[in-house]
Amino acid sequence: MGDPRKLKKKYKKPKVKHEKDRIFEEKKILQKYGLKNKKEIWKAESKVSRIRNQAKRLLTASEEEQKKFLERLSEQGLIQAKTVDDVLELKTENILDRRLQTIVANKYRITAKHARQAIVHGHVKVGGKKVNIPSYFVNLASEKKVFYKK
């Protein structure tokens, strides 16, 4: 049975704690996407950073590996790009647009806060299964299977 592994954070805090411009930008993103706290923004930024680093490593890799990487990102709905260089232009907003909360808000023309509450209360199904996690990452295939019971 062994010891359970120590879970690591999936984000990094900003290096400068009280940077005025960053705080202002984060506040705009919080309002636009109806996020609960800034940790959700930092998680998305970390995910973008990991994808970019992977793309940088793949610049020297074979064509086949690059093709697999681009296919995976396009299936997730993050890019429509044809080259690895275009992946380097990926932004935090691209990740936040793929969250269940944002997709429900855009698809059913409700506010982001209302969408978050509907998801938490169990009124949203993805592919016939109830999902109550607002940060659930929705890929292109399952985006068509998102249903909101009013």
pLDDT tens string 81-107 = 778 888 888 899 999 999 999 999 999
| Contact by Cβ (8 Å): 134, 91 | no
The two structure tokens encoding residue 14: 């900003």
Architecture of the domain defined by 100-148: Roll (3.10)
List, in sequence order, every residue forming a beta bridge with 126; answer none if it has no partner: 129, 146
Please state, in angstroms and rounded to a whole number, the distance separating the CA atoms of residues 109 and 104: 8
Please state, in angstroms and rounded to a whole number, the distance separating the CA atoms of residues 27 and 30: 5
pTM: 0.87
Q: Where in the chain is the domain with CATH 3.10.290.10?
A: 100-148
Does the structure show a pLDDT above 90 at 6? Answer: no
